[in-house]
């Protein structure tokens, strides 16, 4: 298979926020990986910040220190139209009950650091709770992926004999068929001594729905 065909599939995974890793030693496969919530499998975004004192998320807003009016952070040079000469726009925690908005000592630190979500603030952390279900547990979902592409392969049994030594439990074979449109399916090696044969019809008309099914495994 040409490297461009492998890259094409790799980019399809990447466009769905799944990371791709290529082998160092010439294997006919690649590895996909995503950090997920252990409870609900939602993507775990390590770049998303949350407030240290209440767990509220960063909504990329400025908030006026006098009237709490909110502004886009796109324009960093604006002032609040409340007219208070001492007002500042800071990247505050939006939760009005957050100690960074209610406890004087923490408010003081937040103001000094230009808001909980300012780049150099010490009052935020990388996501601690799933944005979907609130679970604190994350783990890596990862699969080794092989590709049976009918453009280059004519016999599945021959292909399988070639990859068999590297194909282990939990690995995936993506099936790709070129007709008038591209169609896809996949095998997931989920049970010892499972047997595989090509299906008569492929289930997926687009790569996105195939990837969605894979990442739900």
Partner 1 sequence: MKFPIKIFEDIVGTDFEKHNKKHVTEDYVSCNLFECGWDTYRPFNDTGIDIIAIKKVCPNNHTPFHEKTTYSYNCNKCGSSLLSIHRFIQVKTREVKGDDSYSQFFGYTLKSKDIRTDPRHVFLLYSDATDEFIIIPMYDYLKMFHNKKIGKSHFGTPSFRVGNNKVNSLKRESDGSWVWKSRPNIYSFMPFVNENGMELISNPKYDIELSKYVMEIVKMKFDLFYNYSKGQQVDSQTEREFNDLLEKSVLDNLENISNNRQITKSYLESTLDKSLKESINGYLIKYKEILFK
DSSP 82: T
**Site membership for partner 1, residue 199 (CB under 8 A):** no
What's the rounded Cα separation, in Å, for the pair 185 and 171? 14
List the end-to-end C-alpha distance of the chain, in Å, as a whole number. 26
Interface residue with partner 1, options 1, 73, 163, 198 (CB under 8 A): 73
Please check whether residue 104 is in contact with residue 122, taking contact to mean a CB–CB distance below 8 angstroms. Answer: no
Q: How far is the CB of 106 from partner 1 (least distance, A)?
A: 7
User: Of these, 1, 35, 163, 198, which contacts partner 1 (CB under 8 A)?
Assistant: 35
209 binds partner 1 (CB under 8 A): no
Torsion of CA 78, 84, 89, 94, to 10 degrees: -130
Kindly list the distances between the CA atom of residue 203 and the CA atoms of 5, 89, 149, 152, 182, in Å, as whole numbers in the listed order: 20, 52, 15, 20, 11
Among 103, 178, 203, 205, binds partner 1 (CB under 8 A): 103
Span of 20-28, 146-154, 155-163, 196-204 interacting with partner 1 by CB under 8 A: 20-28
Q: How many residues bind partner 1 (CB under 8 A)?
A: 74
DSSP letter for 164, please: G
Interactions with partner 1, residue window 104-163 (CB under 8 A): 105-106, 109, 120-126, 128-134, 136-140, 142, 144
**For partner 1, the closer CB: 138 or 202:** 138
């Amino acid at each position: 298979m040409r490297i461009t065909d492998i890259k094409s599939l790799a980019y399809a995974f990447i466009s769905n926020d799944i990371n791709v890793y290529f082998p160092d030693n010439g294997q006919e496969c690649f590895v996909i990986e995503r950090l997920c919530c252990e409870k609900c499998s939602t993507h775990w975004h390590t770049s998303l910040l949350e407030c240290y004192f209440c767990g509220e998320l960063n909504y990329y807003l400025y908030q006026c220190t006098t009237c709490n009016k909110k502004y886009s952070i796109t324009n960093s040079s604006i002032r609040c139209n409340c007219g208070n000469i001492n007002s500042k726009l800071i990247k505050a925690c939006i939760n009005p009950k957050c100690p960074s908005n209610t406890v004087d000592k923490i408010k003081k630190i937040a103001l000094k650091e230009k808001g909980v979500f300012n780049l150099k603030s010490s009052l935020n952390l990388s996501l601690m709770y799933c944005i979907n279900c609130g679970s604190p547990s994350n783990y890596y979902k990862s699969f080794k992926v092989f590709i049976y592409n009918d453009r280059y392969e004519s016999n599945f049994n021959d292909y399988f004999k070639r990859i068999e030594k590297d194909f282990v439990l939990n690995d995936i074979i993506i099936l790709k068929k070129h007709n008038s449109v591209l169609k896809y399916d996949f095998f997931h090696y989920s049970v010892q001594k499972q047997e595989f044969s090509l299906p008569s019809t492929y289930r997926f008309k687009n790569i996105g729905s195939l990837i969605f099914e894979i990442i739900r495994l």
